[in-house]
Amino acid sequence: MEQGYTKEETIDFVVSLVSDVSRTDIAFLYDQIKRSLELENIQNIPDRGKDQPKPKTTLIGVVLIIGVVAIISTMCNTMCKSFADKPMTDNDYLNDRVYCYLVVKNYTEKLLLSPASAKFSPNPLIRSKKESEGIFVYFIDSYVDSQNAFGAMLRKKFSASVKYYVKQDEWDVYEFEFY
């Protein structure tokens, strides 16, 4: 930055290295780095020995950092768009067991005397099936350890049936039983 290269020269150089990154992104990163260097009051000190980096080396390092950040930013944006644009398939819904178990855990906690003490099974048995277009059913068998009215930890086994309605994005626990 203080090595004789202008902001525009630096931006042109980085854009020539990474073509998918916009000039405004590079200019923003350049300004951020310059501000942080000014805040830290970092200055180029003349060489005092072989260990001191030369000013051009520092500039190349800054340009490389800007380039790497720009490449990572571009890759992340591309990957995020490809995941977001991909519609979920029936198999995605049938394998979406995390959310159905969270719904059942929340439902179960409302029925316990001491929900704060609840420790749920880390390995519930979950089966799923497609009931009709846009409706998926999950069957959960699990257990919860929680305190009773006397403070003793007891294990209660339970089974639950949960429906997921895709269009409404709603979960419904329609059968639940402690046994």
- Can you give the pTM of this predicted structure? 0.51
Tokens (6 digits) for 82: 């490809």
Same domain, yes or no: 94 and 167? yes
Better-scored residue on pLDDT, 48 or 87: 87
Query: For residue 45, which amino acid is it?
Result: I
**Triad 75, 76, 82: Cα angle to 5°:** 90
Residue 1 belongs to a domain: no
Among 31, 66, 85, the domain-final residue is 85
To the nearest whole percent, how much of the chain has pLDDT over 70?
72
Better-scored residue on pLDDT, 102 or 12: 102
How far apart CA 67 and CA 85 sit, in angstroms, is: 27
| Predicted confidence (pLDDT) per residue in 124-143, tens digit | 999 989 899 889 999 999 99
Residue 2 belongs to a domain: no
Domain with 121, as residue range(s), is: 90-178
CATH number at residue 132: 3.10.450
Same domain, yes or no: 63 and 122? no
Alpha helices of the chain — where are they, by DSSP H?
A: 7-17, 23-40, 55-85, 90-94, 97-111
Number of domains observed in the structure of the chain? 2
**Triad 68, 33, 57: Cα angle to 5°:** 65
Same domain, yes or no: 39 and 97? no
Better-scored residue on pLDDT, 40 or 130: 130
- Contact (Cβ atoms closer than 8 angstroms) between residue 37 and residue 89: no
Same domain, yes or no: 79 and 99? no
CA 32 to chain centre: 25
Q: In 3-state terms, what secondary structure has residue 35?
A: helix
Please tell me the predicted confidence (pLDDT) of residue 61.
Answer: 74
Sign of CA dihedral 94, 95, 101, 103: negative
How far apart CA 166 and CA 135 sit, in angstroms, is: 6
